Amino acid sequence: MSHQQNKQTKTKTTEQKKSIPEHLQGMNKEERRQYYQNLHSKKGKPQKKPQKQKQQKKTETNKGGSNVPEHLKGMTKEERRKYYQKQRELSGGQQQKQQKQQKQQKNKKVQKKQAQKPKKMTKEERKKYYEQLNKQKQEQKKNWNQNYQQGKQKGQKSQDNKQKQKTQTKQKETQKKQPKTNKTQQLSDPRTRTLTSITSHISPFQQPTTKESGVEFSESVIHPLTIELSLKFSSGKIGGTTGRCIALLNLLKILIREVTVRARFSEDVVKMLNRNLDYLIKHRRFSYTMFSVIRTVKEWVSRVDSLEVKEAKIKICSQIDEFLRKHIYDAEEEITEIAWKKIKPGDVILVYANSRVIEKILKKAHQNEISFRVVVVDSRPMNEGKKLLKKLDNYGIKCSFCELNAISYIIKEVTKVFIGVAVILSNGSAVGRIGTAIVAMIAKRSRVPVIVCCPSFKLSKKVQLDSLVSNEHGDPKKVLTTKNSKSVKIQNLPSDMDVICLLWDVTPIKFISLVITEYGLLPPTSMQVLIREFKDF
């Protein structure tokens, strides 16, 4: 203290001579100090300056002045020690409670709430409370009208306030939700609809048009026949696997005939083929047989470089003709010759959807004067059974018709089931039009033999355990509409709902009893042998 006083005196000695008022020049320091103190105490002013001095004294007494927290500054060391001991003794929750209580005592709002809480009452107080309530109710009954209208006005005000709040919240919500609603709108548009997770790996259905590809009326690199074929494939006019193969092969013949070769034959032809086939694939995916056919034709093209252009073209066209004859037309004839003998008089034969081979079998059996009748089963989306029905009717065969939902009733009358197929896999199961698996399953359960007829070029080395692994989407409108009922529009469906329309399915080997190829009658377990031994391509 003495040091500080000396410091203060040093600073003041320099300034003292300048700034001392006149009426105090005669006095010493101590006298001046007492004078000023008397002044302040007499007038009764708030004692700020002495308080400051007090605080300065306290900070001067405590050495660790700057590090003390605010709520503990008023205490001395010993008091602080006791405070911290208390906190160590208590657990963490109780510390927080104590802190909360201390804060609450400062807050005025909390004090109000505590005052509003119901206090515990004794019996007498409760009696008085309820007496007062009854009095109020009796008064309300007398003055109900006035109270009603008062309540109305209050209610309207509160409702107005609520509506304002609602609209405000709605505006905020819509501002937040707008990106989400766009997704739902995208879902409802059938073309951009993202399908469910099971079928999401299958590309969605595209309407058949030419505008998307940009090839319409101008000169192009793509042959007009490919454009025609692409529309026919995608619209379903040329439908079955053998039909599509035949159309493809004819197309390839014409394309190869009309190519102008500048450099090497194989390169130019392969480029030209790739352009046209890329265009075809966009509109509808190829089946397995079509891929294998294209592969073989490209192999032939690559082996023909040694010859001249004209001879090469002739050679390839003749090879394609031979393929058609050997694997498709002759094979179908041999199958019919083997298979029609399996039909015995009095048989009732069940047929599902359309197949070229089966139509020929039934025609031949009818020509050889066997009395039998046919049940044609049909289903959406493709409704191909009606085409078969019309043809069989023209040949003079007795037919009846039903849809897939009635098959469990019809199967009681049936003696044999003939099925056409798209691909036979190496594990013996068959990929066919959607619904064949159901037909085969029900036939197996009713102990009716299931006979699959297919030429050998439909055999493949692939294996597929599941119908969903590779499949194709069809037009969803065909699933939603039927002629007699009102159609459900895709736009009217709720946004969470998707329409799945698959075209192929796999019938497992246990439902098939016999496979007829041009090599003869075989059980389905020996398909692997056929592929290994007899397949050329």
Partner 1 sequence: MDKIQSPIQFVVLAGGTGSRFDTLSSDIPKPFLPVANKPLLQYVFEFLCKSNVPKALVVTHSGLQQRIHKIAEKLSIEIDITTVSPDLGTADVLREIASKIDRDFVVISGDLITNVPLHEIADIHRVSGSAMVMLLNEENEENSKKIRKDKLVSKHFVGLDKDRVAMFLSSFDSGKSVKLRKPFLEKCSEFELYSNMTDGHLYFFKHWVLRLIEKKKKSISSIQGDLVPLLVKAQFNPKIAKRLSKYSQEEQYPNFKGFSSLEEEVGTENQQFNIKCIAYKTPRDLLCMRVNTFNSYLRANFTLINGNPFFSREAYRYKTVYMHKGFKIQEGDEIENSLLGKELTISGTKNVINSVIGENCTIGENVKIENSIIMNNVKIQDGCQIIDTVIMNSVILEENCRLTQCTVRINQTVEKDTNTKNYIFGEESFY
Interacting residues with partner 1 (CB under 8 A): 208-211, 214, 216-224, 227-229, 231-232, 235, 237-239, 243, 246-247, 250, 253-254, 260, 354, 386-387, 390
In angstroms, what is the minimal distance from the CB of 266 to partner 1? 17
In angstroms, what is the minimal distance from the CB of 276 to partner 1? 10
Q: List, in sequence order, every residue forming a beta bridge with 259; answer none if it has no partner.
A: none
In angstroms, what is the minimal distance from the CB of 247 to partner 1? 5
Closest CB to partner 1 among residues 229, 453: 229
Q: Do the beta carbons of residue 407 and residue 438 sit within 8 Å?
A: yes
In angstroms, what is the minimal distance from the CB of 236 to partner 1? 10
Closest CB to partner 1 among residues 214, 494: 214
- How far apart (Å, rounded) are the C-alpha atoms in residues 251 and 228? 11
Query: How many C-beta atoms lie closer than 10 Å to residue 189's C-beta?
Result: 10
Alpha carbon of 111 to those of 95, 127, 482: distances in Å?
A: 20, 27, 73
Alpha helices in 303-329 (DSSP H): 309-323
Closest CB to partner 1 among residues 289, 354: 354
Q: Residue 208: what are its φ and ψ, rounded to 5°?
A: -80, 105
Closest CB to partner 1 among residues 315, 386: 386
Closest CB to partner 1 among residues 211, 447: 211
Closest CB to partner 1 among residues 176, 262: 262
In angstroms, what is the minimal distance from the CB of 264 to partner 1? 16
Closest CB to partner 1 among residues 239, 449: 239
Which helix (H) or strand (E) segment is 324 a member of? none
Closest CB to partner 1 among residues 204, 239: 239
In angstroms, what is the minimal distance from the CB of 394 to partner 1? 10
Q: Which long-range contacts (CB under 8 A, 24 or more apart) does 469-473 make?
A: 470/202, 471/199, 471/202, 471/502, 471/503, 471/504, 471/505, 472/202, 472/285, 472/502, 472/503, 472/504, 473/195, 473/199, 473/202, 473/203, 473/204, 473/205, 473/500, 473/501, 473/502, 473/503
In angstroms, what is the minimal distance from the CB of 221 to partner 1? 5
In angstroms, what is the minimal distance from the CB of 215 to partner 1? 9
In angstroms, what is the minimal distance from the CB of 267 to partner 1? 13
Burial label, 382 (beta-carbon count in 10 A; 0-12, 13-18, 19+): buried
Q: List, in sequence order, every residue forming a beta bridge with 401; answer none if it has no partner.
A: 376
CA nearest to 520, candidates 282, 341, 287: 341
Q: What is the DSSP string of 82-121?
A: HHHHHHHHS-HHHHHHHHHHHHHHH-HHHHHHHHHSPPP-
Closest CB to partner 1 among residues 193, 253: 253
